[in-house]
Each structure stands twice: as C-alpha cells, then as structure tokens.
Amino acid sequence: PVPAARAGDAREPTVLAHRGASAYAPENTLAAVDKAAAMGFTWVENDVQRTKDGELVVLHDDSLVRTTDVERIFPGRAPWKVKDFTAAEIARLDAGSWFSSAYTGTHVPTLTQYMRRIEHNHEKLLLEIKNPELYPGIERQIVTLLDNEGWLDGGHLPRIVVQSFSADSLRIVHGLRPAVTTGYLGTPPVSDLRRYAGFTDLVNPSVDSISAGYVSSVHALNGPHGKPLRVFTWTVNDAATTWKAVGYGVDGIITNKPDAVRAALRAS
C-alpha cells in the first residue's frame, strides 16, 4: 500500500478550489477564480453547460434559478434551463447577489472568458463537463475551444484536466485528443478500474466513498499515459475530513475552503 502523504511531503495533496474559492465568492464566477488566486491557490474546478445558441458557459446547475436572478428578469420562462436561454440573455443575469450584495453585478462567465481569466491569473483548470446528455457534441466543442485558446500545446497541457461523471464523455475526449489528462468523477468498483484506466488518468471520488485500500487499488494501475492513476477527492471543507483524506493517500483535495484545507495540511 502507498503510505499517506504528509504536509511538507513531496506527495502532499494538491488543493483545488471547487467552483473557484466558492465559500468566499459566488461559485463558478470570475470573482471566485480571482479569490482563489488571491489566496494563493492555482488549481480551480468549474462546471460547463451550453446555451440555446451553442455558447459554452460556466454554471453548475442545468437550471439558472439557484445562482442567478433569472426568475425576476425572465418571468414566465420556467423551468429556466440553461439550454433554453441564449448567451445574450444569460449575460443580462446577476450571478452574484444570491451569494452576497457585495457581488451584485457579477455575471455568468462564458467558458472563453473564464479560461482567459485563468490564463491571466496563471491558474490551472479542472474542467467538468456537466450534464453531457443534454448537450450532444459538447465534448468536441470543448476540445475545439481548448485548442483555439492554445490550451492543448505542450506548455498548457499540464494545466488542464477534463473531468466528468460520464465515462462516455471522457472516452470521447480521450479519443479526440489522447494527450489531454482526464478524470472520472465517481468510485468505480475495484474490479472495473482496469477498464477505466484505458481512458482516464484520474479517479475522482466523493471522500465519503473511499478508503486507503481503495486509493491503493487505484494507484496500482497505470492510466492511458503510462503513469499511475491519481485520486482527487471531493468535497473536503474541514480539518478532520482533510486529515482523513490525507490518511487515505489521495493526490488532490477539491474544496470550497482551500484556506481551511491548507491550514489542516500544515497542522497534520
């Protein structure tokens, strides 16, 4: 078994800001990206959906209701699904005031805007393809955007991981661009891991679903790039859970509170 990494250890887990530093700024906005950078964290996770007119936007839910003022701006457009609104309509929405009045005027970013801010901040991106069953062809569209933005050159490739709960989506991304690092969101049975290792470099499970034995089983296999599979676990927001994840030997911790995880790692 792989021994657990400790703070200061070369294998101390990477800390990834979930939906940006989403405990401190509205999730999946440029403000949350900037907050993570200001706190000194370089890895940011996000979620990608698609508008009615085919624009990729950064939003967790397939509905605009929870994190925008869409019901007020567009009454009568229930159930307010992202796929039923144009990019121009979504650009009119406020995606910050639900979180705090300090963020009034914050918008839902397009994926292009989001990636350019990540680039500007010298951050790295864990990009989640959300609800791909709603958006046929979204995998090719994302790969094309990554390519057009220069994210698939040798210098950028280490800065992008594409993840999804959909194994089919990851197979498509891997087939289109085998050089891209991919992460499967979930906890495949150990007996299935070898199959997943054909198209995914990481297995990203809920922290409640794993054990040290499971992480060892993942680490024992090589992924499509000939390196041991890695484990980024979610969503860890306190010291006790951080220490549990460290004890499991994970490689990355996805968190709404990156500062709390960093403090716990330093105290471990």
The residues carrying an active-site annotation are 18, 60
The count of chain residues that interact with ligand G3P, using the rule CB under 6 A, is 9
Per CB under 6 A, 27 contacts ligand G3P: no
Cβ pair 156, 150 in contact under 8 A: yes
Tokens coding 15: 């800390």
Q: Phi, psi (5° rounding) for residue 250?
A: -70, 160
In terms of CB distance, is 94 or 128 closer to Ca ion? 128
Contact set for ligand G3P, span 204-233 (CB under 6 A): 204
Which single residue brings its beta carbon nearest to ligand G3P? 234
Residue placing its CB nearer to Ca ion in the complex, 4 or 30: 30
Partner that binds at residue 254, options ligand G3P, Ca ion, none, CB closer than 5 to 8 Å by kind: ligand G3P
Residues 6+ apart with CB under 8 A from 79: 63, 65
128 lines the binding site for Ca ion (CB under 5 A): yes
- Contact flag: residue 62 with Ca ion (CB under 5 A): no
Cβ atoms of residues 239 and 27 within 8 Å: no
CB neighbour list of residue 182: distance below 8 Å, 6 or more residues apart:
161, 162, 163, 170, 173, 174, 199, 200, 201, 202, 224
Pick one of ligand G3P, Ca ion, none as the site partner of residue 185 (Cβ within 5 to 8 A by kind): ligand G3P
Q: What are 56's strand-pairing partners?
A: 50
DSSP-derived secondary structure letter, 254: E
Q: Which is nearer to ligand G3P, 30 or 44 (CB)?
A: 44
Q: Where does this chain bind Ca ion (CB under 5 A)?
A: 47, 128
Q: Where does this chain bind ligand G3P (CB under 6 A)?
A: 18, 45, 47, 60, 128, 185, 204, 234, 254
